[in-house]
A and B are shown apart, each in its own frame.
Chain A
Amino acid sequence: MARRYLPVAAFAGLIVAIQLATFFTGTAYHLTQLTMTAYYSLVTVGLCMLIGYAGQISLGHAGFFAIGGYVTAFLTTCNLKLHPGVLVSVLEKSGLLVARSDAYGGSLLTVHPWPACGVAILLAVVIAYLVGGPVLKLKGHYLAMATLGFGIIVYRMVLGTEFLGSADGISDVPGFPLLSGMLITGNSSARVSNYYLAWGLVILGMVLLLNLIHSRVGRALAAVHGAEDAAGAMGIPTARYKLNTFVLSAVFAALAGVLLTHYNGGIGPSEAGVMKSVRYVAIVAIGGMANLWGALSMSLVLNYLSLRGYFGTYDDAVFGVILILIMLFAPDGLLRRHILSDLKRAVSRNPAEEEAS
């Protein structure tokens, strides 16, 4: 147990240290990108569970992120234009609807962020079950292609749907109020609290996933990953376990989509793009596949660099190249124990041997 939770405490310490460093160096504006990084990390660790532990690839997880983001954006910005009446006031009192004023001072009646979030997650779960059911029967390249297809469908749909803002996406999404009176919002006054909230969520997600991989289900998933037929012979319902993990990772992605959309105040179609999905997979790969901490630390570094613009116009290309290089030279990822001996072997490998084998 200590071995499971000690790194969690260390990571929490790192998060605090980063915040303090930005405070003392007067660079608190970095917290904005770091908060966004936290939400993207939520997608990454969920996907790491699916790819690294259950052994199932998905090249469509930006689709689930977008489903979460777009559903909440639409519901919390679309003016319902209901006539005031008993029903409306009951819905308002119960907290399902909320009246507010828009940017131009007009009055607006929309769905409250909490039920909107609920609908978004529920829809992601339903779609994950519907897509995952048939798709997870496929293996390897076929599964990759099918999930890629799903991602492209979501992308084309948000791009081509007028009420989802087409190429512009949806903006003016309100903040997400929490019980404590806190608001998930990009306002600079709430920067520090939002930073801690977002990373707190990531840490909570990590604890849940770490628990899972050390449980009976985690063992079963490792068995399915290692030898699916033998896992079936042990009475493990392999299809159901794969599907549940797929849905779980979709929930992580959709929740990240919901919260980041409220934080940013909007969402655009690029969030649903294939290159976003590739980026998530690339980070899981460079983190070492079956390595939650690897995925998280790589996500922290790479997303931060990307969001700060260090990769310039090559942003997407960087992640594509990372994925190619990892697949070619270190298919088990960079962060693992035997990296040095592997490198030595790779260097000393001579061509004659290659031909002989």
Chain B
Amino acid sequence: MTLLSVRGISKRFGGLQAVSDLSFDVAAGSIKALIGPNGAGKTTIFNLISGFLPPDCGEIVFGGAEIHGMSSCEVAARGMVRTFQHIRLFPKMTVLENIMVGRHIHSRAGFLAGMLNLPFTWGEERRIREKSFEIMELLGIGAHAGTEAISLAYGQQRVVEVGRALACEPKLLLLDEPAAGLNMRETNEMGRLISRIREMGVTVLLVEHDMSLVMKISDEVVVVSYGEKIAEDRPLAIQKNREVIRVYLGDDA
């Protein structure tokens, strides 16, 4: 079953065609990777899919509904949640509070209920807290619950960001270079975490530069270069694809 279907999307920035006529599908329950050289347009594709930028043309169907033109917050509410290539944790908030924000779409206390401290919000807050602790335990960051998130080591900040996204209980999780800046041990752990997330029933679309990580965990790989798709296949086949090798190693290869 297809969870996300991208059909012919394009995006132009002034004179630069960042994404052109790009199509691919993501099957429910799979891990799909999006790879390509720097500046190929991978982050832009994420921005288009997740409602941060409107595509110039094309269709994006998520969970059977057209989401083209929706805002990032509407897209998130439908169950597609992303992380950022450059970590975007909430400053001045603890790890726990960062993760609790992830429960936003699953709770409902509004301005009035909050100001009046209505009794129904007490149980809701307690459940938000419990679920957040559950996620922190799962990721092994429970000991840092009370620490300011942005004061953690870089690798742990990445984990917190993934945890915050997981707290949304997404159907589809978009990870933009989750292993960037991590050392080898941390990268391996991130790989295991992503596989575990898939086992929890979350579909994953991943942008990543670490090829061994990509080849190890993904079911399918899409390769983009200058905003165009040049290959889409299983990891083993991608590694043998002449066009992909040319893009990655230069014309002489």
Contact = CB atoms under 8 A, between A and B. Distances in A.
Interface of A: 208-209, 211-212, 215-220, 222-223, 226-227, 229-238, 244, 248, 290
Contacts of B84: 229-230, 233
Given A215-B115, A222-B92, A234-B168, 15 more contacts: A208-B116, A212-B111, A216-B108, A216-B109, A217-B110, A217-B111, A219-B97, A226-B91, A230-B84, A231-B90, A232-B71, A233-B84, A234-B102, A234-B165, A237-B73
B57 to A, nearest CB: 23
B93 A212 contact: no
A234 B76 contact: yes
Contact of A236 (B83, B104, B111, B117): B104
Contacts of B101: 219-220, 223, 231, 234, 236
Interface residues of B, number: 40
A227 B76 CA distance: 16
Contacts of A236: 73, 101, 104
B146 interface: no
A221 to B, nearest CB: 10
Contact of B73 (A215, A227, A232): A232
A290 B91 CA distance: 13
B105 A235 contact: yes
B133 interface: no
B76 to A, nearest CB: 4
Nearest 7 Cβ contacts at the A-B interface: A215-B114, A235-B76, A235-B105, A230-B88, A226-B90, A232-B72, A208-B115
Given A211-B116, A215-B121, A237-B73, A223 B168 contact: no
14 contacts: A211-B115, A215-B121, A216-B107, A216-B109, A217-B109, A217-B110, A219-B97, A226-B92, A229-B72, A233-B84, A234-B102, A235-B81, A235-B105, A244-B111
Q: Is the interface of A mostly helix, strand, loop or mixed?
A: helix
Interface in B111-162: 111, 113-117, 121, 124-125, 128
Contacts, number: 104
Interface in B66-84: 71-73, 76-77, 81-84
A170 B180 CA distance: 65
B226 interface: no
A232 B76 contact: yes
Contacts of A227: 88-91
B5 interface: no
A339 B81 CA distance: 39
B142 to A, nearest CB: 19
Contacts of A211: 114-117
Contacts of A219: 93, 97, 100-101, 104
B25 to A, nearest CB: 23
B225 interface: no
Nearest to B47: A229
Given A211-B115, A216-B121, A216-B124, A234 B105 contact: yes
A232 B92 CA distance: 18
A326 B212 CA distance: 52
A91 B51 CA distance: 53
A311 to B, nearest CB: 33
Contacts of B110: 217
A229 B161 CA distance: 13
B164 interface: yes
A249 B104 CA distance: 23
Contacts of B102: 234
B89 A230 contact: yes
Nearest to A209: B115
Contact of B104 (A209, A220, A244): A220
Contacts of A233: 50, 52, 72-73, 76, 81-84, 88, 165
A232 B77 CA distance: 10
Contacts of A216: 104, 107-109, 114, 121, 124-125, 128
A223 B90 contact: yes
Nearest to B128: A216
Contacts of A222: 90, 92-93, 97
A235 B111 contact: no
Central interface residue in B102, B109, B111, B168, by most chain A CB within 10 Å: B111
Nearest to A240: B73
Given A216-B109, A235-B73, A230 B90 contact: yes
Nearest to A4: B117
A218 B115 CA distance: 10
A215 B76 contact: no
B90 A248 contact: no
A215 B100 contact: no
A211 B119 CA distance: 12
A82 to B, nearest CB: 37
A9 to B, nearest CB: 16
Interface string B39-68: 000000000001010000000000000000
A321 to B, nearest CB: 28
A309 to B, nearest CB: 36
Contacts of A235: 73, 76-77, 81, 104-105, 168
Contacts of B105: 234-235
Contacts of A234: 76, 81, 101-102, 104-105, 164-165, 168
A148 to B, nearest CB: 26
Contacts of B82: 233
Contacts of A229: 52, 72, 84, 88
